[in-house]
Structure 1
């Protein structure tokens, strides 16, 4: 009876072994807590279904595969991972990994790790989260197993590339790169590993959580991929993966792998390296080269004890071979190597000489590149070793080019500047370079010899021997067998056998065979059958006494900017120099708005023109050179006006060259403002924009002189002293309206002082508009567009004025700037620029304040100052320049004298007192000397300031308080 009262027990259903044939049935079985045997059957179906019962592929993204992967990662792996690992049958765990080793599977694993981290973090560290931490550790182990192996990334992409539906490939390509090269695998693994460690779960360090080990894995994957694949698309993806991986950090690991696994492993792999790196983005190509140089230096070349530069080192020759492979077919990498050798922070600063020897030798087969290295090294003298090494190669390739360079101003300036500095090391290097290069070019009895004790030392001999170094690309075997210093530990590095072939020495090179010139006697008898031609017209070249000097193959005028640059650089060719100077002003202006020739080469043009020397005493040399520089600034004012201002203060130029820079800034600024227009402006138009001369005369009339004056233009060539001419014209414009007013308005002693001033001024202005006292008739200022005025203020005036204060803090620059003639020209330039900007300039108050403060700051260099001698003519020129700049400043602000008194009241009063004192102590006469001009300008400025003070006394009262 008791048994009858017991409830009936339902039998437990033991799931049968899975025997389904579709992925839908497999998903249903996985959701229902499958048994071990069922799981193995499901995994077998999912893994091998494409070959047996269905065409479903777990690795292809889709709704069904996403559901299956989610169940496998979140339910099956936490429950069965330990069982599968302990199983003796490796095929079971391999089947699970095969189902998840895909982009969807790895992403699902990472997403589950992220969700577990979010769930664990807020919970207290007790038993309630032990299950979550255990699951997190298991999922981490799954991730490591999915990525284990150098070829896994390649195999994952192979499946993506093989998809029949090409629309999936592009988005999956970006997902592939984002997965492996974004750093999220490392960041999530590191965070999860830290949580497990804090929870007391002892786990071994995971390589996926270590950025260095992960980069190493990516590097192995990349090199294996590059070795096995030659398809263009595969190499592009592999290159993009490597380029992105370099941005994760520790890029040297990737480059070291490329070096050891590709460059040093047979010809096929060398070709794969070139193809792979050529597909990198340009910045990453440069990064690969720089890291390769660093690795070669650290691993192999720094350990060389280079006491004899002429000695041959197999390791250096092998390094040359490596670099030659990198740059051989890549203009970009060749340019990167040139930049590395010539940049101030490059060329392996702090490293041994071996890396510089290898880098320079790698460029030796490329004539243009090695010449560029030498020219830039001469220009900046940053790396003496690079300079000497490149000079040796250039001497062997093109000895005449080295001879020309040693006669150039850049070389002479570089050596002289080194000898003038106070640092003994710099002087030593300057002497070593000078003697070494002279020894290559000049004969033994005429070569440079400083006869200093420093030049007889072992170090000096080492530097001078660098010009005889002749490394070349050798076999790469020494880099394979040499043990890098980081791996050497206590073991000795095996000694490398020295090669028996000697480096070529200039003195040992056999003379080149040339043409044999044979003199043949001509018969005095003439053939009577030949009718002689009439004598040609006289040629000025035929007047040369020596007929061998007549040049019948004269160069044509340059029509491209690159040809013009080549002509300017050829300082040994008279005809090219003459043509270049005559053509430059017109060619630069004509090309300025057509194409990109001028934009691409404008700085090279400016540098060549500034440093050009009158070697052949050409006619009108200085004017043509100035006009060429003016054309450069007018063509690109926003870029080149600040460039010339910087060059004036920072460049390594003489006083005359600096003066020419100031003249160029003044002339080009006024031309842009529409004042003095160069004669080359009209001739620079293309023929398509002008009418034929006969038709032009019928339709167009030449503007009259009055119209040109009204337009503010003057179509004529400006002489080298053009700024002085413009300054004189500006002073007359400023003083002329006050001549008649001064004679009538002033009485007493002041009238006696100003009488001669008015009479002389009226005589100098008689060519103008008569004796009328109307100030408007003499006005030289006209409004220009705001954009043009802003151009002059922003790119001409302010760069030139602001750098003055910076130069004051440098003793060397101060010595140059305060040279009287240069200082006077500098102040005149600023005055002409503010005058050219005109009253419509929005920045006129700022320009006025900056210029006025600067003028008052240099009063110590003027007449009557306690710091200078009053008879010094140089200081008289500075005085005249300050007064001229003040005149321009007051003239351009004439329409706003009240605002000037409000903003610059103290300067107005201080200047009036200083100019009045200057007027009293300056001797005047009836002559036309500079001191008379100073007295006239001082009188005019004094009158203008007194008018302002009398009219706006109330405005100035606040500034007058406390003024003494």
Structure 2
């Protein structure tokens, strides 16, 4: 009989008390079994395989928590012990089941678990996903769901469950990555037991591919956009990994956390490689700034940690990081010091020099990079103040051979003829400062060596080439440097003196004073920032909903006869705000217009108030212009106000938002042209802005230059004038004629509300004014390109009508005489040259030689490139023929237009081609009275331009009824006519310069 019965299961009961008899037979009922307690033996899996089976069979909440406790328990550092956070096939299966089945069903319940911090269901689940396998599983699932949504037919409705699942997975990923030690935990868990470098290398490469390649950003961004998170119930998820800037800051925190002096060599190498990878995610300046502020410029920071991070990098990446650190010091601390003549400036420069010294340390490679930064043709901090150059020279001067090397290279470069002719003037000014600073240090270290250098032919030729330069600013730098260095080695009767006041006072005196500067590296106390602990996870702020105000009750009381003499309130006067039929729409809390610039900034920063935003935008142009010359409000807050306006977004769809925003920025530039012109030029190239925001910066520079030159008059200028500056209306009529003057350009036109293509319209108007006389004369003489003989050409330019009969063109209406070019004072023209034109051209050339491809990709974006070239042409045209720096401006713009980068992008892009032709036309127009000098000095450029424009002209079809291509062909024809006239007139002057051309 024993063989007929097979036991199905064995139940072990507890041992009964003494004296109790065991029950041999137990009645089996049909009722449901009792719920197993989570802490009982049945709810706890005994092996990873049991846990996998339990998770696959749709467990209840309590068995799930028990399984998570088993999987997330702390394991000893034993490679043989199972750990779900280590890469292996079984852990991959477990994580895959959890991400596809458990998380979508239990995520809400797990987030509502209010048990202990380390024992809650959410913390246990996140612990299981904190690994390579976990992050990869989440990303793979997100990508699969995204592809599933994209593959759905267009006609059918979207499945809501897919959006909900993607939202849950995005929330899970944000929680897994939260904190500044996530990468460090993944590294430690994954590398446990791997003691050899060959075994750690594949692990390191996989981690770099996950965290440093931008995969997380791209997948989460696409999933967030396609899924349509607005359909998810509950509060919106802040998917910060989808934002490249936020993700870069998160990586910086994790890199700092993983970098310590006591860490193993493999760990230091991994985080150094992660730092290099993160530099290519699109926000290198933000990454370097955050890492440097935590490792170097925080209280209690150990500079050795940053040195270890640099030592593990490849040499080219060390160079890139070091140059970026110098830019951070310049932007954050030294640029605001200006010419650095105060005692506070010396202390700040010493602190920055101390920080640079701690970075360089004893590394000869990094010291060589500092010398390269000082002496390279595109280095020395183009557009930055002299403070950063003083700090770097102070560090290099600690080695005698290094500072002498800097001096010799600077002299060779300073006197090179090609450098003088083609380098931007801002670049030459920076290298002149390096030359003077290094000469001052060499004179203190070894005066004999400086004397020997100044007696060589290289120095004599440098001064001679400078004095023979065509550009006035280049000659000025040569005279200043010659007098300063001669004064270091010669006595009063033998030192060089040009007997010019401009080299002794003002800017010339400041330049000559650089040889007396002696900076030393000091403590970094003034640079240190309090260290702020980063929370593990910052909960999303929940703004409570506004509750409607409760209705206040009132009591109606009947007055007795004794109180009948109470005087009633008088009836109020009519109020325009009470005219609305609905009394609930009447507002009594309307904000008042700001009267101070600081209040204006507060209104602009209030992005949650429609009234504040609209009122600030409407008030900004008038308020800034009114405060420009009264007090220091605008001067103190100009950069802050400009940065807010550049990055301001139209959140409330305000009427005329773009126009009001542009007018506010134009008012800032007009109020502070010398400082803000350079600031906007720097912002266009260095700022982290979109294409439309960069385009607005160019529009502001172009329109501001026109207004400063007197070509335009803003409608806000009259409104900003104080009453004491304006005549009464009756008296004003006696002195100001109401009739239109003959010369419209001399009078100045009124700046109406600006359209989106304000610069294009202005360029088209200037083109029409320049080409109209050419077309009239060409039609009368029946010469020139065939396009100029078309009967419709002149009519499209200024409305004249023509009749053609067998090649003879007769103009029925009287041709309009070309308005004369407005001559403006030299002070304004010089301002446009130094504050607008030179910063734009110099930074463009620096961008061409930039080691990062990001800035080149931004600059050569077709729309921005065309707008940039038109802006330069408008600034040059606004400066006019009376500009002292016109030869240098002409050479810089002409060389930029003939550069391979610009002409290569003009091929196939009609907009860039039109911008190049317009810039050439503006060049020829402004230099109309000095074309002899142009043909003599730039003969090759003139002939090369003629050949290129002819190729453009013959390559365009035209005849498209006034389309864009025909307009460009007409523009090319006008340039060709002006070039041919000048080439024929000055052909003999160009013969000597053209020998060997082609």
Higher share of residues assigned helix:
1
Determine which structure has greater relative contact order: mean sequence separation of CA pairs < 8 Å that are 6+ residues apart, divided by chain length: 2
Structure of larger gyration radius: 1
